[in-house]
Structure 1
């Protein structure tokens, strides 16, 4: 079933029930269905097949996305954390014939774009339409979403998804999380991130629930990597959110805010956390605060979520059981292999071969079917003592310390490990050293950090040292600090 059909069903049963909510406005299911039809007709009339959007979070983003899906267009979201080079790459490779944006002046200057072809008002917001000289044949027929991974190395790849790939995920998530029309999902991350787009907006609307879409600053997200934890915590309570999606960083912010005295969101019943490795001690702290948060696992190549812990089946330390639409097995070398709807392929590359897709993640399935991840296959290194070590584990332990904001671990072929550390605001070298010493107490000797370097600044998507989902771009960090790292071993 198409998403617009589900929205029409909810509109027929409860036309005034709130579908989208934002500061200062709401739209019911009947109104949303009508607006999707209107916008889809306008999109069809413009004679394009691929549309790029660069918008801040809000109802306009959601409505344009839904209209493009209904109109049969391929939508290309441009994340706000993409560099100029990444945006140029996405626009060129996708063959987008138009760009809709709320920041035309900035993008025209950065990307040398043509003059906008007038203003287009969506959800009461004036947006700019910019025609582009893209190739309408660049994207294969049937692709409805082209999401560019921000990956840990190289140029972003265009992951091609049809509704036939996204719908099984939406259906599985709605069932697994027990989403009902009374739920209120608060969007905490950019809608250009596939996880929030599908697991947040699509799943809520599929289920007849309310999706709350404030701008990022209103939920404490400032720029691409700064977080006002108090603003986020208070927003969860103010909007009476029953669900939200967290990264490990935003969950840690919520936990610290409540530990410091802010009230626990009263209506909150289900939080999913993923996108990057989640330290077990962070989940323990959340549980101590009675925060109902559940770790999951997913990839863009699987249309977001693959596994998820739930209230009825929760095993902390795992990423949960596979959702009903997928199957997992573990290869001989420990790599997680996934079968299911998958994706069409990477734009410009040969389609995936065979039934099983190699995820690039190392993990194991326990006897009850819960998936335990150990790290990215390409990140695992071997010390001179022959120990295999996944750096994400150690980095997770380090960043649980209040004095350490971010960390990247290195030690391939070395007798001991070193870390590049981003100190938390106000933390000096003494505080960082003490934090590392405490973390080492929770680690075996081969995983402990012996020496460290203070980073020049935070790892961010803007400087190429962090992906949009919060994963450290380890090669970029190592390249930047290579000389300092080498000096530590001399």
Structure 2
């Protein structure tokens, strides 16, 4: 089944690019506001002048002066100064090169992105250079964004060579794709790194966007595609020169990296919040102060942005007075992850009447366009909005078809359709419906494949749960597949202030009993305050904590389903095997440390107490060795991260193992043998203190990503 809009128009003159669109506004409206960053404001004329100066520096950069190359040079931009970043990406395009944005705020992420990109040149500032340097001298050439790029434009001088009737135009004509300023004779050259990813002939890359957060994957986007995506957004969002745009995500993420054109290539203004202002309350204040009309965000940030102070996200859907801080907002574009229909309606109800909320489904390969849905599209009432995530209809120029349940999306530049890795279906009313992701599929014990999205949607239909993620727990080879349900509270129950009987594991299983097959019903339940999300706003299934296994009939946390007696059997078996091991250690003490356990000088009533001490030391030593060999898996379930889990595992093992050798060595050491005494202190006493601190750190640390806590069933 195929879905396409009537206005599919991939053909356009190749000379037209986004930088040419920007130049039209520089020439035609040089006094219009273009950029807002804190207290600084730049008009199109001022921004164009800054772009010109930097474009000339890029074209003249040392080592980049080769006139012929198969593709434009790739220039990475990494700076925490977002106004300088915007100037840099426009200057890169104007110099005929290809831009890529890396994260300068998180140096670790930025270095991984640079390694994946292998750019010819890095545009950065002093702090960015220090953070992005790999320390081995293998990085790209560096061009610093100096203070000269921030100087205000010079006073008007003699007439400049601009198009007739275009006052205030930029002095450097925009290069065609692959050319440096001034024409084809100044093409940018090859740098020390590998060439950027190959692109189809006739559409050289304008940008290399980064897909994925853990393992960045470069995706080349051509000039024609970037412009077609802009035209699609202009038509769908009805963009106008009086719009002011704000992006809530990081600049290297897809919405901004490909979407800045929606502001600066339509004559609008781009409002750049400081990193310290990305708190939802601060962003709402920025919307009010700057009169922002269009916000581009993700589901999690959209909920927090529109939630009133002191109220949880996704409040009850009853209509109320809109937040005064958001009165200027006419469009809320939500992308990056699934958005359920009831969540979208709740967002709509928090804005003024007539404001729009778009659920946008897009790929990096399509430059941020794909499909869009808004609640006015169906044309008839819909049941069960908590179960539906509607993708709607394609952007102009895009085509979507469903093959074997998987969505395939064709970009608006006329390229072939791409498999998205997502599932969906075309409904009888002509709307696309999201159906989950292939990478999340689970194979159950009977060999059937389960899409967790189906189970999660049914859990959301439970009146006591707000959001849900279902995933299998890692288990030893041969063990039965166990599904865990991670749930968040409803808006009227923030922080799980109240837990009804129906909100425990038994209540959840009863709710799902007649809705999904029994093998697909979760056998663990974990309550979180919010679902963890990555830096791009997507739900991070890998960041949810692993619940410890226990039998629910005992009233312990996260119990196994009735009948699962495996942990009890293994516990009894290990306990029986430890008895002979303890005896072996007690016997070995006589040979390893002869005389250390002698009780000839201890009065009879007290000797039995010391025998108990020796037995406990031997038992702790045996149990510590067992924990060192097999106990790490029991700590992983707490979701503290591999590094902290390994540290705690070694600390607990040492706390148990150390008592047997420590006490025996102390009993054999002379009280006045100070070298021996000092060696024992630094070998045992101080490490035992450090191990105790490490265990406390492990027990008190909480992952910042989900800000949640695990509650009892």
Q: Which has the higher contact order (CA 8 A, sep 6+)?
A: 1
Question: 1:254 and 1:71 mapped to 2: Cα distance?
Answer: 38
Distance apart, 1:253 and its partner CA: 0.8
Structure 1 counterpart of 2:271: 212
| Larger CA deviation: 376-385 vs 241-250 | 376-385
Kept after mapping to 2: 8 A contact 1:145/1:160: yes
Secondary structure (helix, strand or coil) at the match of 2:370 reads: strand
Distance apart, 1:263 and its partner CA: 3.1
Write out aligned runs for 1:327-346 (5 A): 327-331=399-403, 333-341=404-412
Secondary structure (helix, strand or coil) at the match of 2:242 reads: coil
Distance apart, 1:207 and its partner CA: 1.3
Residue of 335, 354, 359 corresponding to 1:295: 359
Residue of 231, 234, 249 corresponding to 2:282: 231
Secondary structure (helix, strand or coil) at the match of 2:113 reads: helix
Residue of 83, 100, 103 corresponding to 1:76: 100
Question: 1:455 and 1:13 mapped to 2: Cα distance?
Answer: 53
Alpha-carbon spacing, 1:426–1:273, altered in 2? closer, same or farther (3 Å): closer
Structure 2 counterpart of 1:263: 324
Alpha-carbon spacing, 1:37–1:442, altered in 2? closer, same or farther (3 Å): farther
Kept after mapping to 2: 8 A contact 1:275/1:469: yes
1:321 maps to 2:321: no
1:137 maps to 2:161: no
Residue of 227, 231, 251 corresponding to 2:302: 251
* RMSD across aligned positions (CA): 4.3
Alpha-carbon spacing, 1:31–1:400, altered in 2? closer, same or farther (3 Å): farther
Secondary structure (helix, strand or coil) at the match of 2:88 reads: helix
Secondary structure (helix, strand or coil) at the match of 1:234 reads: helix
Alpha-carbon spacing, 1:58–1:267, altered in 2? closer, same or farther (3 Å): same
Distance apart, 1:298 and its partner CA: 0.3
**Deviations, residues 269-288 of structure 1 (Å, cap 9, x unaligned):** 01111101112221122233
1:280 maps to 2:341: yes
Alpha-carbon spacing, 1:156–1:393, altered in 2? closer, same or farther (3 Å): farther
Secondary structure (helix, strand or coil) at the match of 1:34 reads: helix
Question: 1:435 and 1:79 mapped to 2: Cα distance?
Answer: 41
**Deviations, residues 328-351 of structure 1 (Å, cap 9, x unaligned):** 1110x21011223579xxxxxxxx
Secondary structure (helix, strand or coil) at the match of 1:15 reads: coil
Question: 1:248 and 1:177 mapped to 2: Cα distance?
Answer: 18
**Deviations, residues 21-48 of structure 1 (Å, cap 9, x unaligned):** 1211111122222322222111111154
Alpha-carbon spacing, 1:246–1:314, altered in 2? closer, same or farther (3 Å): farther
Distance apart, 1:174 and its partner CA: 0.7
Distance apart, 1:471 and its partner CA: 3.3
**Deviations, residues 403-426 of structure 1 (Å, cap 9, x unaligned):** 989855338997874135689999
Distance apart, 1:237 and its partner CA: 1.7
Residue of 451, 464, 473 corresponding to 2:524: 451
Structure 1 counterpart of 2:176: none
Structure with a larger share of its residues in helix:
2
Kept after mapping to 2: 8 A contact 1:219/1:235: no
Number of paired residues?
A: 453
1:38 maps to 2:40: no
Q: Which has the larger Rg?
A: 2
Distance apart, 1:94 and its partner CA: 2.5
Structure with a larger share of its residues in strand:
1
1:149 maps to 2:200: no
Distance apart, 1:268 and its partner CA: 0.6
Question: 1:10 and 1:215 mapped to 2: Cα distance?
Answer: 25
Question: 1:39 and 1:432 mapped to 2: Cα distance?
Answer: 62
Distance apart, 1:435 and its partner CA: 6.1
Write out aligned runs for 1:364-375 (5 A): 364-375=425-436
Distance apart, 1:322 and its partner CA: 0.3
1:107 maps to 2:131: yes
Alpha-carbon spacing, 1:402–1:265, altered in 2? closer, same or farther (3 Å): farther
Alpha-carbon spacing, 1:429–1:24, altered in 2? closer, same or farther (3 Å): closer
**TM-score normalized with structure 1 length:** 0.77
Question: 1:197 and 1:219 mapped to 2: Cα distance?
Answer: 17
Secondary structure (helix, strand or coil) at the match of 2:396 reads: coil
Secondary structure (helix, strand or coil) at the match of 1:38 reads: helix
